[in-house]
Amino acid sequence: MSEPPAGAALRRWAREQARLKASVIEEDTEEWQKDPSFAGLERVGGVDLSYVKGDDTKACASLVVLSYPDLEVLYEDCQMVAVTAPYVAGFLAFREVPFLVEAVQRLQQKELRLKPQVLLVDGNGLLHHRGFGVACHLGVLTDLPCIGVAKNLLQVDGLARDELHREQIRSLQMEGDAFPLTGTSGKVLGMADIRSREYIRKQLCSPLEVVSSGPKRREKETEPDD
């Protein structure tokens, strides 16, 4: 198990969060965001990391892109990764985001036409206690609108946050603590989760258990400030 970082490292991470936070865009920037029917929204992406049970350094980073509103899988990318940063509440991005950024970069190199217009992220965004959670972190580094979905709470990050737009995206909300394969967020994040777990099993050629970084992950990783 990774050793917790020293206080100096945590302060450095906090400074990096503060620096990147200045680049967060909270207003609508895309035409489809401004239309009550989401006219023009055609591709929704989801990202996830799943871990081999009993080994928090071996994981699979997954990115899926689904059509909207049909929610058919258009693209998937899974890669085994070696996680070196420890889990620290409030700093999940430094553990997982580098691998998710690489997944987005691979997509841009391979299938630029399938680049998602919005990414659903398992974690907080603006509701992070320093106002810069994993969804914001990924959004800034990829220049994509990101929605942070933490447990059963939909957070509107990088989109307009007024009540009208909150109502417009209720269809993205998850229900319960698991990823139900219903609704947009459940389908997209559920697909990312399923693909990453299946990939681990295939790579290890065994039925070893895997642990999702989503709502069913280890208790320490469900804290609401990531």
- Give dist(CA 52, CA 29) in Å, integer: 38
Q: What pLDDT sits at residue 213?
A: 55
- On the question of pLDDT at 5 being above 80, the answer is no
CATH number at residue 171: 3.30.2170.10
Model pLDDT, residue 1: 56
pLDDT of residue 155: 40
Which of 55-69, 116-130, 163-177 is least confident? 163-177
Note down the domain range covering 63: 7-222
pLDDT one-digit tens code per residue, 195-219 = 999 999 988 865 545 555 543 443 3
State which H helix or E strand residue 118 sits in. Answer: strand 118-122
Provide mean pLDDT across the span 51-74.
93
As for how many domains the chain has, the answer is 1
> Does residue 173 carry a pLDDT above 60?
no
Q: Identify whether 1 is part of a domain.
A: no
